[in-house]
Structure 1
């Protein structure tokens, strides 16, 4: 697969995935095309050598794996991990607000979002709804309004002359999106709006009532190539749908001699403490079913490895003093190994050596990121997964700018570079 073709697929994937639920649905569609079979956690599994399978939990986390032809205790499992969620604004359960003729929605900040970029954007709404059908059965469905239906207007500078000097945002008061102008007209509640949309999107669903929902606002602008030479990819949710797509497309290309696995968890941006998050039992449960014999499983884990794929901080040209100059990755200069002495990243010399070897073998440049010693860094699913399963792990990813903004920037070469390295790893 060539770089341009690969990146076009990446852009399409992100465009179709405004929420973790949609991301997992999109991944399932891709895996189906590559002859992976959907299996349920509720069923008995009968896994065959060479078989390709995937399993979904809570519609928002997914594990795909290929059963290798060689014995597990001899080879271990080659794993890669990423996360499906991104910082965003989530709509509250009773969100309806009417103020001065405007119909607005109450929202809650999900994860460590940069808030300023959410102003003055055309926003849409997407997520998962639970509804009651005509048979009084609770059903689940994904909804995407797709069109711009909300807007968070900035306050004009005439009313806040210090806005460019020292602007803080009160998320309770200042992040309320404008949905409509109502005057004296009766207003439908948000659940009724969702019911209407549900019936339009699924005419045969028989929906009678929306019981509950998990709905997010998102920027309607599509991801795209940018830069004078189209050397960048800009878009929402590059952290971390970019890694999900790269790892998935690497997995589907593998021959399957060695058992290979991809896990994409939800809730990384809020600590991973959920049944579908990295702190939950999802991956451990699947590994136990892949290798049910305890003695064999212990030997398998010892020979296994995880590449935790999450975006890295690229060097921002306007703020070079925020970086350790010796460990400041540049966009389009290759994937990044992330290292932290306090185990915020799970990399150690053994796993970083292997990643460097893979990069060298694939003919790919590689970079390092270490946070300044007078600043603290974030973390990933890497240390959590390593701790829970005892896996040797390296944290690595594509460098980006604008991390946790409503729109982020990556190098078009780097996505393809990481894809080539992960192909080498799985093979």
Structure 2
């Protein structure tokens, strides 16, 4: 295990990052803010970009951000090393006409986003966060403090609750946020007030529900870290930390890139998702600034790598039969290499060897993950990016428990070790 102080310092910084990133839009802006703070320049997609050589740059598109460092002596055939992750998490999103309620309760009308563990959202304080499009053309970020709650029905009124709780996705998921008459209240006013704007000026909104509790370290030897949105802010944060380090030691071996996409939980098919053109748009402009034509850029891609980093399942002590009987990664035993025969993950033999090399360079032990044949796995942005760009891709991540819960569980050492391997990856 790495030095406790370094691993726990990393976990504390991740807690700060998650707290600042209750929505994908906030996460993208927090990536940009932290990078600008250490000397990166933010570029506007509608503007001419300066010569990239020697530069540090970041572009934000909606809830996604792509950042990179071009070494001073980079050439048109210098490969990229892309660490890809995603900024969104399963949960709930505000519907149009979001203020509702009955029987004297104010409620929020929400739509299920992705595939959350619905019952994990019960009986915890929740906040609203997202972006507001205003009448004057501005788009502002907004985030409340603890505001909402999904109260569970008392066991006295549902004696069979412990025999299997099933929440109706419409009637059982509308949180309360106050008392009063829905016709004289407006939940958007709460969101607007948090951003210091007038609710009457709102012309559009994208707002999600997030856990209000801060990430916490606990357990024997402080081995555990629990937080909302570890899927996949743990990877975004690891890549961010590694890219900042790479900016201070960049050489001409590779162009390190952090690509934090939105909408992975929905399939990635959007202008800011991995199936969209965002990464390709950025890389085309980066290589053009280095004098590359289309053929030269493809030569660079042929020697490039994409590390698709997302969470995977740790073996669960109460449900070990749900996992592969032999390959059972464990919290605190290192990052994971994700493998699937049906290309739900993009890892192949060459990628596995490369991952082993980066782990060895970083001094980090790794584990493998494969699904039980009777319990098919999900997929990641890895196969999508490999298909779009033809860049060799390896699917990796950290093992966690409670995936898609409002509050997930990771190992402190794994979080830190992932950032260490990311540093080795960016070093080329």
SS at match of 1:43: coil
Task: Name the residue aligned to 1:156.
Answer: 154
Q: Is the 8 A contact 2:29 2:60 kept in 1?
A: no
In the alignment, is residue 27 of structure 1 matched against residue 24 of structure 2? no
- RMSD of aligned alpha carbons: 1.6
Task: Name the residue aligned to 2:212.
Answer: 220
Task: Name the residue aligned to 1:120.
Answer: 123
Q: Is the 8 A contact 1:313 1:401 kept in 2?
A: yes
> How many Å separate the matches in 1 of 2:190 and 2:212?
19
Pair 1:388–1:72, CA change in 2 (3 A): farther
SS at match of 2:53: coil
The one of 224, 228, 244 equivalent to 1:236 is 228
In the alignment, is residue 49 of structure 1 matched against residue 53 of structure 2? yes
Q: 1:231-266 deviations in whole A, cap 9, x for unaligned?
A: 111010000001000011101111221211110000
Q: Is the 8 A contact 1:69 1:259 kept in 2?
A: no
> How many Å separate the matches in 1 of 2:411 and 2:365?
13
- Counting only pairs closer than 5 Å after superposition, residues 69-88 of structure 1 correspond to structure 2 as 69-72=72-75, 74-88=77-91
SS at match of 1:65: strand
SS at match of 2:170: helix
Task: Name the residue aligned to 1:318.
Answer: 318
In the alignment, is residue 272 of structure 1 matched against residue 256 of structure 2? no
Q: 1:69-104 deviations in whole A, cap 9, x for unaligned?
A: 344454311111000000011111112223111111
Task: Name the residue aligned to 1:179.
Answer: 177
Task: Name the residue aligned to 2:255.
Answer: 259
In the alignment, is residue 363 of structure 1 matched against residue 363 of structure 2? yes
Q: CA deviation at 1:188?
A: 2.0
- Counting only pairs closer than 5 Å after superposition, residues 132-171 of structure 1 correspond to structure 2 as 132=135, 137-146=136-145, 148-171=146-169
In the alignment, is residue 297 of structure 1 matched against residue 297 of structure 2? yes
Task: Name the residue aligned to 1:190.
Answer: 187
TM-score (norm 1): 0.94
TM-score (norm 2): 0.94
In the alignment, is residue 424 of structure 1 matched against residue 424 of structure 2? yes
SS at match of 1:414: helix
Unaligned runs of at least 5 residues, structure 1: none
Q: CA deviation at 1:194?
A: 3.5
Task: Name the residue aligned to 2:21.
Answer: 17
Pair 1:99–1:304, CA change in 2 (3 A): same
Q: Is the 8 A contact 2:25 2:141 kept in 1?
A: yes
Pair 1:301–1:40, CA change in 2 (3 A): same
> How many Å separate the matches in 2 of 1:305 and 1:139?
37
Q: Is the 8 A contact 2:150 2:174 kept in 1?
A: yes
Q: Is the 8 A contact 1:72 1:300 kept in 2?
A: no
| Runs of 4+ residues over 6 Å off in structure 1 | none
